[in-house]
Amino acid sequence: MEINFHIKSYNIKEGFWKTNSGDNLFKDWKILNIVPGKGYLISQDKELNFVNFDGRSNWRSSVFCTGKPDLAAISYDRLILTTTTEDYHSWDFLGPAILIDLETGNIIKELKGERVEGLFNGEFILGLEGYDYFHTWLYNRDGNLLQEWKSYGEYLPVNNEIIVIEENRQNPHSSYLNKLNRDGSISKGMKLKSSRSSNPLLVGEDTFLFENAGYLIIADSKLKEISTQKLINYDPSESSCFSSRIQRYEDVIEIEILERTPIPQENYRTHIFKIQI
């Protein structure tokens, strides 16, 4: 599949580094995710709830987590939630990953991981990187381990396949565009320019795009590179100063690349690209 794209507009804004606390439903509640046709997953401190679009809870009561809810992924009737702790420890502030029955709010199991992606029929993957870990684990709806791979990064399910844009912070880095096969093997694609990438965005039945080292890359589920376009110039060795995200608004894709300035560190510059495909 060939995709033609061009930059509609580009602008830079500068300011101070800050964390986006998300959209509030009411008061200090944060929206973690939207469940299509059913409502919102929301949190406040360590409290989690699932409300319909009228603001009424779908559960009998809130779920009180051992850590503060961070990322939420949905797979059929299962919710997998990553959390952060209040106290610093050997894994920084990483808390347990909590598997929850989406219909009842009951906690099924606590696991470990910092990246999460929902798959199909209640299955999901968790990823963890650091120390001796550079792993992705596949679990079923009951939290039982089905498979594992020595690969980690940004995940994208495509046609019952799992694509991972690796983020290997070793120096020199060795990050690849990979496919995680159900038998535990890894199909390796192209080597990436940097160890940091944006989230992938699906733009066709098996076609997706992502940002890496200032380049917009379009590839397919066979790990074939379709197109590449340079957005900004920066040295891949300075990738720790950059982060990016991609969002789609109908036929317009917005790419935001956040650049930390070296001195002082709390300053940032945001490069925003709007691309029509």
Structure token pair of residue 80: 């997998």
Q: What is the mean pLDDT of each run of 10 residues along the chain (277 residues)?
A: 57 51 56 91 93 90 93 96 87 92 97 95 95 95 98 94 92 88 97 94 94 95 94 86 91 91 74 87
Domains of the chain and any CATH numbers? 6-276 (2.130.10.10)
pLDDT of residue 54: 84
Written as one string, the DSSP assignment of 128-179 is EEETTEEEEEEE-TTS-EEEEES--EEEEEETTEEEEEE---SSS---EEEE
With CA atoms as reference, report the closest residue to 159 among 207, 125, 219, 116: 207
Question: How confident is the model at residue 63, as a pLDDT?
Answer: 94
- pTM of the predicted protein model: 0.86
Q: Give the pLDDT confidence score for residue 235 in this predicted structure.
A: 85
Q: Which residue in 232, 227, 239, 236 sits closest to 272, CA to CA?
A: 232
User: What residues contact 264, with CB distance under 8 A and at least 6 apart?
Assistant: none
